[in-house]
Homo-oligomer: A and B are copies of this chain.
Amino acid sequence: MHITRRPHFIEFGDCDPAGIVYFPRYLEWFDAALQNHFRACGLAKADIVSKYGFVAFPVVDLKVTYSTTSTFHEEVIIETTILEMRRSSFVIRHRLLRGEIVAVESIETRVWAQRRPDDETKFQGVPIPDEVRWRVGFQLAT
């Protein structure tokens, strides 16, 4: 199981009139952190697309705990790890850390999906390739 951590600087434009981070923004950062995590595991988007076609990872389930607010011009750490790989879905945990404090934690379930042949605007889950399992730190499904 691999863990990535990256520094994240909170911008003025991410905050609301109460002066705190507008809560949907965290999910944008976590989305970017997941893509960064894949790259760190040797799974750049371009490589995924060239091997497996256009793949999207729509979120199907999301649980977020906001323990403390943050404000602009703070530097925090976003920590990302994949907790579980299922047949065609996977579970990701993100944490926004301020020093020792877990300010926000999210548990996302996403589907490894491709466009449906009968309706290009919809996606359907497909089995996660073995190479992907292995690269993000899991054993092959047996």
Collect the chain B residues with CB atoms within 8 Å of residue A56's CB. Answer: 18, 20
- Select one of B12, B23, B71 contacting A27, CB under 8 A: B23
Q: Is A64 an interface residue (CB 8 A)?
A: yes
Interface magnitude class on chain A = 35 or more
- Select one of B11, B23, B69 contacting A35, CB under 8 A: B11
Q: Which residue of B lies closest to A44 (CB)?
A: B73
- Select one of B11, B65, B69, B73 contacting A61, CB under 8 A: B65
CB distance from A34 to the nearest CB of B (A): 9
From A25, A27, A65, residue with most partner B Cβ within 10 Å: A27
Interface on A for B, CB 8 Å cutoff?
11-13, 15-20, 22-25, 27-28, 31-32, 35, 44-46, 54, 56, 58-69, 71-73, 121-123
